[in-house]
């Protein structure tokens, strides 16, 4: 591996286990994700617990909480500690406008998130993050894991020449792309926005790669051929560099809180015809900035 990539890894490798005063944080890998224990999310968190979760979130980007029994109200209260709730883009009739059902069974012909992506990046202000609470796992007892990828490290591991090339470029994110071959509902106001290819995390200021296959149509300053080649190279880098990834195996009652600003995720649909069910609440984000 090149020295610049090794330097990038060394800069963010985390220590094995962290005890803050109110929670225990066990990294899933040295580079992404952590399991948090010591909290019952159905109870109101103290300010100290909230600060410790926030710190762990900004360090590890994907937090896993096990054995949580939650009502929608408790789920939303926990999410609300990190910002106003982000409404579901196309809520089902009669459903809670802030709770998205994630559901698959033998009737499914596709499942949400079965490919590397960040959520809703065609929005002017994509979500800060999501909290998915899975209550039903596939009947076989395994399958339905979710992969996450660290977009800070994906950027940091690029060569200095590639970083320089990407600096200042912007990409068009088009909400129509995920609907290819289908007709979006008439009431859907399809979002389309241009965001920098390299953005800074709004809380930490760290740079990250902000393009993803389902939403990014092209890089505005390049020809189509050039744009396709550069985007395919970046997507291959994200998908084929396992050290960027962590993998969460769900149990009933697992809640995962991921930072949608600096992490992509991929829900693995390896359990057909079995079922999987959960509920997701998202938090408002801000406009991505270079």
List, by residue number, the catalytic residues. Answer: 117, 119, 265, 280
Nearest-approach distance from CB 126 to ligand SIN, in angstroms: 13
Nearest-approach distance from CB 146 to ligand SIN, in angstroms: 4
Taking the least distance from each CB to ligand SIN, the nearer of 198 and 255 is 255
Token pair in block for residue 93: 């009739």
Nearest-approach distance from CB 256 to ligand SIN, in angstroms: 8
Taking the least distance from each CB to ligand SIN, the nearer of 104 and 198 is 104
Taking the least distance from each CB to ligand SIN, the nearer of 29 and 146 is 146
What residue ranges in 78-206 does DSSP mark as E strands? 85-86, 100-104, 129-136, 146-150, 170-174, 192-196, 198-200
Rounded CA-CA distance 16/260 in Å is 24
Q: Do 149 and 244 touch, CB atoms closer than 8 A?
A: yes
Taking the least distance from each CB to ligand SIN, the nearer of 9 and 89 is 89
Instruction: Fill in the per-residue mask, 108 to 147: x = in contact with ligand SIN (CB under 6 A), - = not in contact.
Output: ----xx----------------x-x-------------x-
Taking the least distance from each CB to ligand SIN, the nearer of 113 and 196 is 113
Which three-class secondary structure state does DSSP give residue 248? strand
Q: Which of 36, 102, 211, 255 binds ligand SIN (CB under 6 A)?
A: 102
Give the CB-nearest residue to ligand SIN.
113
Rounded CA-CA distance 37/90 in Å is 34
Taking the least distance from each CB to ligand SIN, the nearer of 141 and 160 is 141
DSSP per residue, 181-218:
TSPPPTT----EEEEESEEE-TTT--EEE---TTTEEE
Which three-class secondary structure state does DSSP give residue 89? coil
Region of 249 please: left (phi>0), alpha (psi -120 to 50) or beta. beta
Nearest-approach distance from CB 132 to ligand SIN, in angstroms: 6
Nearest-approach distance from CB 260 to ligand SIN, in angstroms: 9
Token pair in block for residue 6: 């090794």
Number of residues near ligand SIN (by CB under 6 A): 9
Q: Which of 128, 149, 153, 267 binds ligand SIN (CB under 6 A)?
A: 267
Region of 67 please: left (phi>0), alpha (psi -120 to 50) or beta. left
Please, how many CA atoms are within 13 Å of residue 110, restricted to the half-sphere of its CB? Answer: 7
Element (H, E) at 36: strand 34-37
Instruction: Fill in the per-residue mask, 209 to 248: x = in contact with ligand SIN (CB under 6 A), - = not in contact.
Output: ----------------------------------------
Nearest-approach distance from CB 25 to ligand SIN, in angstroms: 21
Q: Would you tell me which residues interact with ligand SIN (CB under 6 A)?
A: 102, 112-113, 130, 132, 146, 265, 267, 280
């Amino acid at each position: 591996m090149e020295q610049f990539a090794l330097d990038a890894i060394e800069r963010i490798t985390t220590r094995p286990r962290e005890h803050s005063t109110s929670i225990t944080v066990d990294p899933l890998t040295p580079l992404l994700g952590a399991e948090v224990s010591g909290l019952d999310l159905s109870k109101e968190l103290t300010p100290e617990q909230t600060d410790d979760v926030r710190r762990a979130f900004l360090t590890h980007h994907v937090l896993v909480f096990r054995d949580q029994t939650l009502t929608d109200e408790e789920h939303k209260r926990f999410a609300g500690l990190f910002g106003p709730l982000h409404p579901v883009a196309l809520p089902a009739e009669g459903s809670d406008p802030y709770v998205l059902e994630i559901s698959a069974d033998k009737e499914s012909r596709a499942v949400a998130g079965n490919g590397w992506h960040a959520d809703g990046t065609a929005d002017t202000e994509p979500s800060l993050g999501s909290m998915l609470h899975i209550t039903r796992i596939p009947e076989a007892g395994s399958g339905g894991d979710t992969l996450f990828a660290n977009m800070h490290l994906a950027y940091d591991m690029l060569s200095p020449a590639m970083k320089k090339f990407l600096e200042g470029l912007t990409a068009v994110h088009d909400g129509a792309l995920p609907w290819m071959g289908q007709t979006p509902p008439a009431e859907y106001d399809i979002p389309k926005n241009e965001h920098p290819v390299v953005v800074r995390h709004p809380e930490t200021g760290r740079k990250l790669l902000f393009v993803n296959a389902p939403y990014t149509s092209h890089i505005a300053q390049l020809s189509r051929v050039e744009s396709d080649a550069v985007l395919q190279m970046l997507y291959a880098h994200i998908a084929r560099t396992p050290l960027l990834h962590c993998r969460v195996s769900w149990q009933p009652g697992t809640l995962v809180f991921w930072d949608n600003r600096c992490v992509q995720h991929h829900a693995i649909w390896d359990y057909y015809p079995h079922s999987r069910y959960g509920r997701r609440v998202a938090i408002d984000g801000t406009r991505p900035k270079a």
